[in-house]
Amino acid sequence: MLKVIAVRLIRTAAVFFVVTFATFAIVYAKPAAIARNVVGISASDQAVQAEVVKLGLDRPLLEQYRHWLAGLFQGDLGQSFFTGQPVLSTLGIRFPVTLALMVLSLVLTVGLSVLIGVVSAVRGGWPDRVLQILSVVGGAVPSFIVAIGLVFAFAIALPVFPATGYVSPDVSLGRWAASVVLPVAAILVGSVASAAAQFRGAVKEVLERDFVRTLRARGMSERAVVYRHVLRNAGGPGLTVLSLLTIGLLGGVVIIEQVFALPGMGVLVAGAASKGDVPVVMGCVAVTVLLVSLVNLVTDLLTAALDPKARVS
Amino acid sequence: MDESGSASTAEAGLEVRDLRVAYGRRRGRAEVVKGVSFGIAPGETLGLVGESGSGKTTIGRALLGLVPVTGGSITFRGHDITRLPRSRRRAVARDIQVVFQDPYSSLNPSMTIEDILVEPLRVAGVADGRSRVRELLRQVGLPDDAGTRYPSEFSGGQRQRIAIARAVAQRPGLVICDEPTSALDLTTQARALGLLRRIQRETGAAYLFISHDLGVVREVSDRIAVLHEGAIVEMGDSEQVSLRPSHPYTRRLQLATPVPDPDVQARRRQRRRELLKADA
Amino acid sequence: MTAHPVVAPEDAVAAPAAGRGRRGWAGRLLRNPMAVACIVFLGATILFGLSSPWLAPHAPGATQLNAVNAPPFTAGHLLGGDGSGRDILSRLMWGTQRTLFACVVILVSALLAGVPAGLVAGYRRGAADPVLNWVSDVIMTLPGIVLLIALYTLIGPNLVAAMGVFGVLVAPSYFRLVRGVVLGVRNELYVDAAKVAGLSEARIIGRHILWAVRAPVIIQSSFVLGGGIAIQAAVDFLGLGDPSKASWGGMLQEAFANIYSNGWAVVWPASLISLTGLATVLLGNALRDALQVGAARRSLPRRRQELISRAFAAKAENDLPDRSATEEALLSVRGLKVAYPREDGGVSQVVRGVDLAVRKGEIRGLVGESGSGKTQTAFSVLGILNTEALVGGSVVFDGEDLIAHPASRAHARGRRIGYIPQEPMTNLDPCFTVGAQLVHGLRAVRRTSRRAARHEVLALLARVGIKDPEHVFGLYPHQISGGMAQRVLICGAVAADPDLIIADEPTTALDVTVQAEVLDLLRELRDERDLGMVLVTHDFGVVADLCDTVSVMKDGRIVDSGDVRTIFREPGHAYTEELLSAARAVDLDEVGTDG
């Protein structure tokens, strides 16, 4: 088991370095273009060149990455080209908004989709049919369109929630809740639909295995069969669903923030990218990749812990 | 070890010397065939009997070039075929053919029977493949129109006939029969065995007949080799091995196989118990 | 190699109808009204986009002051105008063309990156497989949209590059699919047969491997396109598209910013994005149904099932024989029928009126070839048939009809009737230790403390011939052999001290030497506990060894029945004779063994 943990840790670290370096190489590939973005379209070539040197973009890429990485471990991700603010402190303000949305959507998605998935797999009948139709529709309509629909319905036609904007929970918990209801609902439609269908599939697969019939034949009640044995066996595939779901939610939140003008990381990174504010983009990528790597590490370890073949060697 | 067939097999048949096959790498490495030697003369059937994990299927696959051989040699009609590259294998393919255990997985479900049977003929450069197919289908007792149909339209027994037809299409000198009847029902099994015997009479092919069932092996084989944990523990005349085995393992195997007669079986059970007690 | 599977001939007809099916998959697709609707809609959308250079009423960027926020059906502007006075219909058409172009880019790059890699990893394996797998895993865990945003800093609004990269990001879905299919096909014996025949590698891949991959890739493509349409719209919606070109996402973003002045402008791009995505995914589902016949057998609508079930029950009630002559038997099955509802409203009967009786201490063999209905008969006694199975007749156990009283059957199950399955390895829960699942089973049917149950299970494990019960108790199923697993399952069947055992081919998956030991064990347990037993088997040797009485089944009926010696000496039916002679033909001659 210790060996399993060590291997996963090394793999996670490797992925983190590979992905951040690749992104770094992409966003820092054209120093002149970055500098021109900062000094302006009309600036002279000399001014641009001076800016390149000033920003240190003339150094070899690998050295720049090493520098960036060293900064990362010291809690310094550089400053925004435009505002001059330290990237880390900007992220400190923006990231919690995204994280709150994500955690809220994740908890609700997992709760709802496990419930729906298990019920429709075990019961069959009409809940199962409804889920199958909804999973197709919910999975096919992009979340930002659902969001626009919700804004139409609950902010314009029937104004119960604010259409856009964000209130920090420090200011007012109630108004914070009201400001995240529509964004979270928009994310949930798609994520619950697809996650529930996948949980259903995982449970259904286990239900059709031979040992389930044998347990029934041994006089075990259906409840005990499902709760003790079937769910335990569906746990591994379920965790895989969970980790992919988390990554999907991250993408969903980034887009949804745009619809509701929520001051999260998604709006930050999109804005920074369109302006060419490279340090901010890089900081956002680092945070997301770190988050995703952690989620994968945890689900990987849990999967290994659930699997007797990995546990008992 | 029985050497009776060797003199003639060295020139005309199959000669296997100290064959070794191992799977896995480094610490996980396990030798599943541990130095097996035997020969098969033209037109002869050698039965290879063993329980799961005895390495019997691996031996068959090694002869077919489907698993890499780690030691020893395989000679067929005087040519060393132990480790042939794919391109050279083709020349041998005409001579060594196979009938697998599972008649469902051994036919490609998306091809018609005719395409399945023509494929090996085309590789061998046979020009009038299509007419040969009709001849083959008749030979294994399938209707003429079977060629245009798909494997899923046939029962397990019929599929096994198709697999047999494919194996004998190029008139091979040796057919590896890897549990060809163990997936079939009793009555179908008897018919498939009959077909194999008839084809042997007609074509003079030699068979390596691999099975877990001593009874089936005895039924078709001239000689029997008993495989246990990757090694041949006993080899000899079919009658002798199946009825008067000399090795303790063969004796256990022989007595453990139930026969379809309650009284005889009761006696055999008794003898098996005595044997086990004597061993202990 | 442990298993010697007996394949049912019916399977050949029922399950993989792929061969016959593939010829008509296009026909099947067109018979599905949903698929036709999707094809028509998508075809119209494609025409809508492609025809924009000729049919669009206005240039995509042309502004007219009178068209600013014009409502739909304004003269000259069928769908109205946007906030800058541009014609919405024209911009939608140009935007559609852009989306089509994006779809092609995504599909090409994803296929090129995913399919060859999957083929190499799956067919060649070797060093390439783990490396490609790792790369695929890494790509799958990337936050795609964030990377696309980062990419924007380098390339700006470049549709081809962005969608090309997105294609690579979704390529793992093709890679994993193709690799999985190829791994499966590679182990198929027909590929081995092709190798033996001397086919070149290129021919094997072309003829056998690519063919198997084709259908799954087509299906997957529709889901990839569904996702691609959404992501392309999202990128434009985030403002990272080319503002000089009309696009669905860009139009949506502008209209959404302008939502209070012109709500209609939101509706058009939003519905086009949703409907196109939905149609693509629905078409994918329809394609899956058409291409993979039998892969996803759908159950019949509940009402239809009820109708069929009622008709079946009424008929079975009529045919029910009298229950008088069954007094002294422990188990008495009378007129048992099992059927499965068919698509066309009829039923396929697999058991057609079976009578069977077992006394205490009697082992009754239920013999037949595959598909004769013997396992279905055994499962009916326990009530562990598939849920859609229709059952008629009566199963009287100790004086009570278990079919008429499901509650008493549930009570008898495990407590008074035990079950021994065929495949030892798949019938143990891989997630629990041997001991834990036996204790669960015991405590499910009897009130007893955990300690007492553990004690009892250990004693039973010793009884069924397991040498070191304490050790085996703590092992997981993957750590024990097939023979030992079967002993554990026998232990589970007799744990609650039942009166009757239903054993479904209990030794078929075992080696003969192990089989002999298990048969001995079953005989001893019967003698100790005066158990009645129904032993389903296809092996007359097993019958001769263990059974007192035999019933021979053929096509869902009992054709011959009686004392084991009588059946073997003077079979009462020609079919029994045929089976026996087939069995004897391949068996060991007894004369010599006495010597």
In this structure, the answer to whether residues A247 and A113 fall within a common structural domain is yes
Total domains, chain C: 2
Q: Do B261 and C515 touch (CB under 8 A)?
A: no
Question: Is the CB of residue C479 less than 8 Å away from at least one CB of chain A?
Answer: yes
- pLDDT by residue (tens digit) across A100-140? 999 999 999 999 999 999 999 988 878 888 888 888 888 88
User: What's the CATH code of the domain at A168?
Assistant: 1.10.3720.10
Amino acid letter for position C558: I
Query: What pairing do the DSSP bridges indicate for beta strands B79-80 and B71-76?
Result: antiparallel
Query: Where residue C517 falls among pLDDT bands split at 50, 70, 90?
Result: very high
pLDDT for A311: 72
A28's CB contacts (< 8 A; 6+ apart) are A34, A57, A61, A64, A278
Amino acid letter for position B6: S
Shortest CB distance from B106 goes to which of C189, C568, C590? C189
**Residue C275 falls inside a structural domain:** yes
Shortest CB distance from B262 goes to which of C565, C591, C595? C565
Q: Do C196 and B124 touch (CB under 8 A)?
A: no
The parts of chain A modelled with pLDDT lower than 50 are none
In this structure, the answer to whether residues C315 and C243 fall within a common structural domain is no
In this structure, the answer to whether residues A187 and A149 fall within a common structural domain is yes
* Chain A hits for C144, Cβ within 8 Å: 251
Q: Is the dihedral of CA B20, B24, B26, B31 positive or negative?
A: negative
Shortest CB distance from A292 goes to which of C141, C415, C421? C141
For chain C positions 184-203, those within 8 Å of chain B (CB to CB) are 188-190, 192-201
In this structure, the answer to whether residues A154 and A270 fall within a common structural domain is yes
Q: Which of B44-53, B86-95, B254-263 has the least mean pLDDT? A: B86-95
Q: Do C427 and A23 touch (CB under 8 A)?
A: no
Last residue of a domain, one of C260, C292, C324: C292
User: What is the percent of chain C where pLDDT is above 90?
Assistant: 46
Is there an interface between B and C (3+ Cβ pairs < 8 A)?
Answer: yes
Write the DSSP symbol of residue B152. G
In this structure, the answer to whether residues A158 and A46 fall within a common structural domain is no
What is the chain B residue with the closest CA to C577? B187
> Quick check: C328 pLDDT over 50?
yes
Higher pLDDT, C4 or C510: C510
- pLDDT by residue (tens digit) across B98-134? 999 888 889 998 889 999 999 888 887 777 778 889 8
Size of interface A-C (CB pairs under 8 A): 206
Residue-range definition of the domain harbouring residue C284: 32-59+81-292
- pLDDT by residue (tens digit) across A139-177? 888 999 999 999 888 888 888 888 778 888 888 888 888
**Closest residue by Cα to residue C583 from C552, C538, C545, C549:** C538
Shortest CB distance from C544 goes to which of B106, B260, B272? B260
pLDDT for C156: 82
**Residue A47 falls inside a structural domain:** yes
**Residue A31 falls inside a structural domain:** yes
In this structure, the answer to whether residues A201 and A120 fall within a common structural domain is yes
In this structure, the answer to whether residues C156 and C259 fall within a common structural domain is yes
Size of interface B-C (CB pairs under 8 A): 227
Q: Do B185 and C198 touch (CB under 8 A)?
A: no
In this structure, the answer to whether residues C277 and C314 fall within a common structural domain is no
**Residue A270 falls inside a structural domain:** yes
In this structure, the answer to whether residues C273 and C312 fall within a common structural domain is no
pLDDT for B188: 86
**Residue A187 falls inside a structural domain:** yes
Last residue of a domain, one of C292, C317, C350: C292
Q: Do C278 and A288 touch (CB under 8 A)?
A: no
Query: Where residue C376 falls among pLDDT bands split at 50, 70, 90?
Result: very high
In this structure, the answer to whether residues C318 and C205 fall within a common structural domain is no
pLDDT for C585: 66
Last residue of a domain, one of C237, C267, C292: C292
In this structure, the answer to whether residues C146 and C242 fall within a common structural domain is yes
Q: Do B154 and C12 touch (CB under 8 A)?
A: yes
Shortest CB distance from C516 goes to which of B66, B91, B272? B272
Determine the distance in angstroms separating the CA of B85 from the nearest CA of chain C, rounded to an integer. Answer: 11
Total domains, chain A: 2
In this structure, the answer to whether residues A127 and A245 fall within a common structural domain is yes
Structural domains for chain B: 14-238 (3.40.50.300), 247-279 (no CATH)
> How many whole angstroms from its chain centre is CA C510?
26
**Residue A232 falls inside a structural domain:** yes
d(CA C285, CA A136): 9
In this structure, the answer to whether residues A215 and A268 fall within a common structural domain is yes
Q: Do B108 and C208 touch (CB under 8 A)?
A: yes
What is the chain C residue with the closest CA to B115? C207
User: What's the CATH code of the domain at C115?
Assistant: 1.10.3720.10
Q: Do B243 and C516 touch (CB under 8 A)?
A: no
In this structure, the answer to whether residues C382 and C407 fall within a common structural domain is yes
What does the pLDDT average to over C302-309? 72
User: What's the CATH code of the domain at C395?
Assistant: 3.40.50.300
**Residue A312 falls inside a structural domain:** no
> Quick check: C380 pLDDT over 90?
yes
Which residue has tokens 């009737």?
C417
**Residue C252 falls inside a structural domain:** yes
**Residue C1 falls inside a structural domain:** no
- Reading the block at residue A145, the tokens are 């369109």
For the question of an ipTM over 0.85, the answer is yes
What is the chain B residue with the closest CA to C213? B110
**Residue C67 falls inside a structural domain:** no
**Residue C302 falls inside a structural domain:** no
Mean pLDDT for chain C overall? 85
**Residue C437 falls inside a structural domain:** no
Is there an interface between A and B (3+ Cβ pairs < 8 A)?
Answer: no
In this structure, the answer to whether residues C281 and C311 fall within a common structural domain is no
d(CA B271, CA B161): 39
In this structure, the answer to whether residues C377 and C422 fall within a common structural domain is yes
* Chain A hits for C446, Cβ within 8 Å: none
Question: Is the CB of residue C512 less than 8 Å away from at least one CB of chain B?
Answer: yes
**Residue C538 falls inside a structural domain:** yes
Query: Where residue B152 falls among pLDDT bands split at 50, 70, 90?
Result: confident
Determine the distance in angstroms separating the CA of C18 from the nearest CA of chain B, rounded to an integer. Answer: 7
Question: Is the CB of residue C22 less than 8 Å away from at least one CB of chain B?
Answer: yes
Q: Do B105 and C538 touch (CB under 8 A)?
A: no
pLDDT for B18: 95
The alpha-carbon radius of gyration of chain B (Å, integer) is 19
pTM, full prediction: 0.84
**Residue C575 falls inside a structural domain:** yes
Amino acid letter for position C101: F
Query: Where residue C301 falls among pLDDT bands split at 50, 70, 90?
Result: low
Determine the distance in angstroms separating the CA of C117 from the nearest CA of chain B, rounded to an integer. Answer: 23
pLDDT for A105: 95
Shortest CB distance from C445 goes to which of A219, A281, A306? A219
Query: Where residue C593 falls among pLDDT bands split at 50, 70, 90?
Result: very low
d(CA B45, CA B38): 12
In this structure, the answer to whether residues C320 and C279 fall within a common structural domain is no
- Reading the block at residue A126, the tokens are 């009409």
Amino acid letter for position C360: K
Spatial contact of C510 and C487, defined as CB atoms under 8 Å apart: no
Residue-range definition of the domain harbouring residue A171: 103-274
- Strand arrangement of the beta sheet that strand B45-49 belongs to: B96-99, B174-178, B206-211, B45-49, B223-228, B231-237
- A210-213's contacts with Cβ under 8 Å and 24+ in sequence apart are A210/C421, A210/C423, A210/C426, A210/C427, A211/C426, A211/C427, A211/C428, A211/C429, A211/C430, A213/C384, A213/C421, A213/C427
d(CA B210, CA B174): 13
Determine the distance in angstroms separating the CA of A203 from the nearest CA of chain C, rounded to an integer. Answer: 14
In this structure, the answer to whether residues C202 and C253 fall within a common structural domain is yes
Q: Do B264 and C513 touch (CB under 8 A)?
A: no
In this structure, the answer to whether residues C86 and C207 fall within a common structural domain is yes
Determine the distance in angstroms separating the CA of C223 from the nearest CA of chain B, rounded to an integer. Answer: 25
Which residue has tokens 């999109």?
A270
**Residue A283 falls inside a structural domain:** no
- pLDDT by residue (tens digit) across C63-80? 888 888 888 888 788 888
Spatial contact of C557 and C376, defined as CB atoms under 8 Å apart: no
Q: Do A255 and C415 touch (CB under 8 A)?
A: no
- pLDDT by residue (tens digit) across C95-117? 999 999 999 999 999 999 999 99
**Residue A288 falls inside a structural domain:** no
